[in-house]
Structure 1
Amino acid sequence: MAGPSETAQLKTEAMVQAALAPSDYLVVAPVVVCLLFGAMLLMIRKRIDWHPVLAIPGFFLVLLVDVLLLLKVAAEGPQTMMMGGWKAPFGIAFTVDMLGALFVTASGFVAFAAAIYASVSINRTERRYGFFPFLFLMMGGVSGAFLTGDVFNLYVWFEVLLIGSFGLLILGSEHEQLDGATKYCFLNLVATTLFLITTGYLYGLFGTLNMADIAEKAGGFENDGALLTIVVLFLVAFSAKAAAFPLNFWLPASYHTPRFVVSALFAGLLTKVGVYALIRIVLMLFPPQHAELAPLIAWVAALTMLVGAFGALAQSDLRRLLNYFVVAGIGTIFAGLALVGGEGAPDAGSLANAARAATADGAPDVVAGAAAPLLPATGNLVVGLSGAVFYALHSIVVMTALYLAAGTAARIAGSSSLRDMGGLWRGKPALAALMLVFLFAVSGLPPFSGFWPKVVLVRGAFQAGLPWLGAVILFTGFLMTVASARIFALAFWRNAPEPAVAGARGGSFDPEGEASPALSMTPLLILAVFIVAAGVLPQWLATLTDIAARGVVDPAAYLGSVFGGAS
């Protein structure tokens, strides 16, 4: 039995002794704020008139703490907060680096815009059914997934966001919604089960689920076959959640069924959580295995882009068409992940091993938010990942904006079918101008946010010896431009159909409540500011995505935050 001195020694070794500064709580603040506001709205569930009045400031507060967290990471490097005061790997870690900070800030930005839109488009009945509490619950899960440093808790936050998304998906209990929810739930049940099984396998091999601890131990693990099996299983699970080929069939079958504002957040955020998990676990923890699978990821990326682009051309309903834009965007992101293993890049395994060796004697130096490079983190290894992160952030914003603009257009036209829409350019020129900006951006045309990451990815593909992948990126961009031109020509530019036709609610029309024109346009303007700023002045975002990519490739600062400098 341990004596008092031995007990004190064990406590010193296992427990965090340093006092927390107020700024340390920023690491968990996005999750806490979401869950607190969701609980508060449940407590006043009978005062539904108060829900939008409280929800908009609540999401503004979420965005504020997200931005403060991003600034803290940019200034000081990765941040870690251990739950219960236990040191890693005993305690549950919340760890955020530049990658997580960028994703969580983008999610808070689009959630704030969507909350403004929902305040005027979600009717009283849907508020009574819990729209805003479900929205806060989903955003709490999304934020938790971007901030956690533990694989099992990544699974837990996936479950939290899925619970919130299920509630939002069936809001209204219409037949079409229930049909879409069935497909959505079944696929996510399969993917989540595979994720949980693989997590159990991972724990059986390493005896830990702390991401930093796994990254340290993976370099010396001798059973490469077991590691490759784990990586393949994670790749399948996260590809299903991200809607990558051939597991993308569920998204076009379900995302057109809920309200437009719900579809906007689903399209902007939920698939990107799968992409983030893939980057965090497969690329950061198992770089040699990822390098082996890079050719497979390249083919998955190409086929996903082609399915999305050709699927968009085949649609006559606006929201179904946008669903395929989401799929094509996921393929473009996957193309960047495939370039990480391209020719001419530094060896991923050597970079990870160097990072582990550097952290053996203490935490690495952190300069201006970036890990001090242990080996030259140049070439396609960083370029591809930086382009993929840039495009993912662009896609979060532009897909949210497109669905919100489409919802406003469908409400005015009385239908979301392109056959029944028209004349919006003359009747709503401001809406038409914003829609044109969003369509240019999603097609990858200058001077908007989608242009620069595609330039980076195409150049990286040719430098990596994958010219065919660069050609696919360009070709699908052309097809999406054609589909975008078709949207604008039919829904906005041509003359309005006959009144009898215009009043018909064909397609997947979304019967949202009457909206104030000013409030309906406000979130579109907010999102358009980012799209234009990231296109006209891309360097600020490119610098941040480059820091994020280097932090994944060379995780020394991440490991040092968990083991050497955790609060």
Structure 2
Amino acid sequence: MNLLLILPILLPLTTLMLCLLARRRLAWVTLISLVGSTLLLITGLWLVWFAAQGNVLSGQMGSWQAPYGISLVIDRLSAAMVAISGVIGLGTLVYMHRQPMASEFLRDAHLFVHGLLTGICGAFITADIFNLYVWFEVLLMGSFALISLGGGQRRLAGAMTYLVLNLLATLLFLLAAGLVYGASGTLNMGELALIFRSGEATTSATLGVTLMLLAFSIKGALFPVFGWLPASYHVAWVPVSALFAGLLTKVGVYALIRLVTLLWPTPGLAHDILLWVACATMLVGVLGAAAQTEIRRILSFHIVSQVGYMVLGLALATPLALAGAVFYLIHHIIVKANLFFIGGLASRLTGSERLAGMGGLYAARPLLAVLFAIPALSLAGIPPLSGFWAKLILIRASLEAGFGWAAFIALLTGAITVLSMSKIWNEAFLKPHPNGDQAVQADNGPRSAWLVAAVLALMTVLLGFGAGPAMEYAWQASLQLTEASAYLQLPAKEGAP
């Protein structure tokens, strides 16, 4: 098997094992962790370049033929997701560097981040349903360990909410996989695509896939099964909540996009349901954000709202809409993780996460105000930043598909998002601190945290000004999603029955 095909899994897993061997010395753990995450980022960028040339990597683990062997596929979408996972993973580890935490705490954080990245990257490149379930289990273990770091009643309560709902989704996924296998005799995505596209899928197989999509909807925090996210993300350690905000729900969204485009490439009942769910998710999420008074709870509800845009692209099922969903995925991962990073810096400087207890940051830290304004404006869809182009594509796709009401909801959600971001700006940056200007901490915290926020803000600006090439990549990715040739050729190429 091509080594490049398994590197996205091999690198974080090897890094995890090496960190375990060096766990007695934090300096060694940190060095190994940063090197490993840098190599993952380089691998992701290499895969994006390789995929941009029109290449698709595919193969079988251990050379076992499908449907018994585990198929791996890296196309444009999965390559981009691996690369952006490398960006956010490395950013999280750099942000953690020199934080005033106990050495055991930081050591465990490094270990669990790489365990989480192993599960995330495995989910992005697998072409087998059961293997996807395994990677969901891996990332669930890593994410629960990370969200529980530090203990405390508030954090553990949030962690239990997170665990219970995600464990329910995982068990539902396992049940669905069993139904699909019992009805079709395979869990290979390529073989399932052939069965469903030919109209030979049984009622049991369709029911199993429907349950699977429900499990992915819980993982992706779609309406009405989103409540676990705003109840848990805001209680985690800031780097952990930023990592979760950037990547975790996107694994569920990715699985939805991959499975729906494989099994139902043309619009149908599933797409109609997803369209209503997407619009409800946008509205409920943004209205929930407008009602919050803590900065990370506001941002958590906005994760829910923005996921609705991605599912809107999937529901419309046109090449332009799917391209918009891909573009939105990449844009949102960068922007949302950065807002959590910056929110952590703002809370540290003001001594509070509640907007009422914050203030004075524009006068005291104008650089932080600029760093916040860039992702906040991008999230709201203000030109020429990346969020504007992502929303524009999806609104245009909605109008072209004849769903003007969906375009209106997308515009309304964007307008309310502007109000939410304005509330944070006014309360945390413009108004004076309630305890006076001297209440803003003199200590800025580790420079590495500021560096991460600055780099991600720069990426947001570059993605906005470089929207043309990025959109061309997303367009080609959308064509691969609908054609699914790499997946459909797997059974025949590997000699499966």
TM-based fold match above 0.5: yes
Letter in 2 for 1:555: A
Secondary structure of the corresponding residue to residue 355 of structure 2: coil
Is 2:316 the counterpart of 1:334?
Answer: no
Is 2:146 the counterpart of 1:168?
Answer: yes
How far the C-alpha of 1:81 sits from its partner, in A, is 2.5
Secondary structure of the corresponding residue to residue 28 of structure 1: helix
- Alpha-carbon spacing, 1:71–1:53, altered in 2? closer, same or farther (3 Å): same
What is the rounded CA distance, in whole Å, between the counterparts of 1:129 and 1:71 in structure 2? Answer: 33
Q: Map 1:424-463; keep pairs closer than 5 Å.
A: 424-463=361-400
Point out the more displaced range, 290-299 or 100-109: 290-299
Point out the more displaced range, 174-183 or 47-56: 47-56
How far the C-alpha of 1:424 sits from its partner, in A, is 0.8
Note if contact 2:352-2:358 (Cα within 8 Å) is conserved in structure 1. Answer: yes
Is 2:97 the counterpart of 1:119?
Answer: yes
Point out the more displaced range, 228-237 or 58-67: 228-237
In the alignment, what sits opposite 1:474?
Answer: 411
Q: Map 1:82-101; keep pairs closer than 5 Å.
A: 82-101=60-79
Letter in 2 for 1:190: L
- Alpha-carbon spacing, 1:560–1:225, altered in 2? closer, same or farther (3 Å): closer
- Alpha-carbon spacing, 1:225–1:89, altered in 2? closer, same or farther (3 Å): closer
How far the C-alpha of 1:114 sits from its partner, in A, is 1.2
For residue 244 of structure 2, the aligned residue among 261, 266, 288 is: 266
In the alignment, what sits opposite 1:522?
Answer: 451
Is 2:371 the counterpart of 1:399?
Answer: no
Letter in 2 for 1:405: I
Q: Map 1:51-450; keep pairs closer than 5 Å.
A: 51-121=29-99, 123-127=101-105, 130-223=108-201, 225-287=203-265, 291-340=268-317, 381-450=318-387
What is the rounded CA distance, in whole Å, between the counterparts of 2:106 and 2:448 in structure 1? Answer: 21
Letter in 2 for 1:473: A
Is 2:476 the counterpart of 1:551?
Answer: no
How far the C-alpha of 1:74 sits from its partner, in A, is 2.2
- Stretches of structure 2 lacking an aligned partner (at least 5 in a row): none
Note if contact 1:551-1:558 (Cα within 8 Å) is conserved in structure 2. Answer: no
Note if contact 2:58-2:486 (Cα within 8 Å) is conserved in structure 1. Answer: no
Note if contact 1:138-1:160 (Cα within 8 Å) is conserved in structure 2. Answer: yes
In the alignment, what sits opposite 1:560?
Answer: 489
Note if contact 1:120-1:520 (Cα within 8 Å) is conserved in structure 2. Answer: no
What is the rounded CA distance, in whole Å, between the counterparts of 1:164 and 1:170 in structure 2? Answer: 10
- Alpha-carbon spacing, 1:454–1:178, altered in 2? closer, same or farther (3 Å): same
Secondary structure of the corresponding residue to residue 49 of structure 1: helix
Note if contact 2:282-2:304 (Cα within 8 Å) is conserved in structure 1. Answer: yes
How far the C-alpha of 1:267 sits from its partner, in A, is 0.9
In the alignment, what sits opposite 1:349?
Answer: none
- Alpha-carbon spacing, 1:98–1:330, altered in 2? closer, same or farther (3 Å): same
What is the rounded CA distance, in whole Å, between the counterparts of 1:189 and 1:402 in structure 2? Answer: 27
- TM-score normalised over the length of structure 2: 0.95
What is the rounded CA distance, in whole Å, between the counterparts of 2:477 and 2:211 in structure 1? Answer: 25
Note if contact 1:45-1:128 (Cα within 8 Å) is conserved in structure 2. Answer: no
Note if contact 1:441-1:449 (Cα within 8 Å) is conserved in structure 2. Answer: yes
How far the C-alpha of 1:26 sits from its partner, in A, is 1.1
How far the C-alpha of 1:248 sits from its partner, in A, is 0.5
- Alpha-carbon spacing, 1:122–1:29, altered in 2? closer, same or farther (3 Å): farther
What is the rounded CA distance, in whole Å, between the counterparts of 1:256 and 1:223 in structure 2? Answer: 42
How many residues align structurally?
A: 494
What is the rounded CA distance, in whole Å, between the counterparts of 1:104 and 1:446 in structure 2? Answer: 27
Letter in 2 for 1:474: L
How far the C-alpha of 1:220 sits from its partner, in A, is 3.2
What is the rounded CA distance, in whole Å, between the counterparts of 1:126 and 1:387 in structure 2? Answer: 42
Secondary structure of the corresponding residue to residue 287 of structure 1: coil
Letter in 1 for 2:415: F
Point out the more displaced range, 514-523 or 278-287: 514-523
Letter in 2 for 1:81: G
Note if contact 2:360-2:430 (Cα within 8 Å) is conserved in structure 1. Answer: yes
Note if contact 2:176-2:211 (Cα within 8 Å) is conserved in structure 1. Answer: yes
The structure with the largest helix share of the pair is 2
Report the RMSD for the aligned CA atoms in angstroms: 2.0
Note if contact 1:78-1:558 (Cα within 8 Å) is conserved in structure 2. Answer: no
Task: Name the structure, 1 or 2, with higher relative contact order (CA <8 Å, separation 6+).
Answer: 1
In terms of Rg, which structure is larger? 1
Letter in 2 for 1:419: A
Q: Deviations over 1:192-234 (max 9, x none)?
A: 1111111111111221111112212323343553343233212
What is the rounded CA distance, in whole Å, between the counterparts of 2:440 and 2:451 in structure 1? Answer: 26
- Alpha-carbon spacing, 1:188–1:25, altered in 2? closer, same or farther (3 Å): same
What is the rounded CA distance, in whole Å, between the counterparts of 1:448 and 1:442 in structure 2? Answer: 9
In the alignment, what sits opposite 1:491?
Answer: 428
How far the C-alpha of 1:544 sits from its partner, in A, is 1.1
How far the C-alpha of 1:558 sits from its partner, in A, is 3.6
What is the rounded CA distance, in whole Å, between the counterparts of 1:128 and 1:240 in structure 2? Answer: 30
How far the C-alpha of 1:112 sits from its partner, in A, is 1.0
What is the rounded CA distance, in whole Å, between the counterparts of 2:281 and 2:485 in structure 1? Answer: 33
Note if contact 2:105-2:149 (Cα within 8 Å) is conserved in structure 1. Answer: no
What is the rounded CA distance, in whole Å, between the counterparts of 2:69 and 2:421 in structure 1? Answer: 49
Q: Deviations over 1:60-111 (max 9, x none)?
A: 1110111112222222422112111223333211111111111111111111
How far the C-alpha of 1:516 sits from its partner, in A, is 4.5
How far the C-alpha of 1:332 sits from its partner, in A, is 1.1
Letter in 1 for 2:460: I
- Alpha-carbon spacing, 1:300–1:394, altered in 2? closer, same or farther (3 Å): same
What is the rounded CA distance, in whole Å, between the counterparts of 2:111 and 2:36 in structure 1? Answer: 11
In the alignment, what sits opposite 2:464?
Answer: 535
Letter in 2 for 1:384: A
Point out the more displaced range, 238-247 or 69-78: 69-78
Secondary structure of the corresponding residue to residue 95 of structure 1: strand
In the alignment, what sits opposite 2:25?
Answer: 47
Note if contact 2:180-2:209 (Cα within 8 Å) is conserved in structure 1. Answer: no
What is the rounded CA distance, in whole Å, between the counterparts of 2:201 and 2:491 in structure 1? Answer: 26
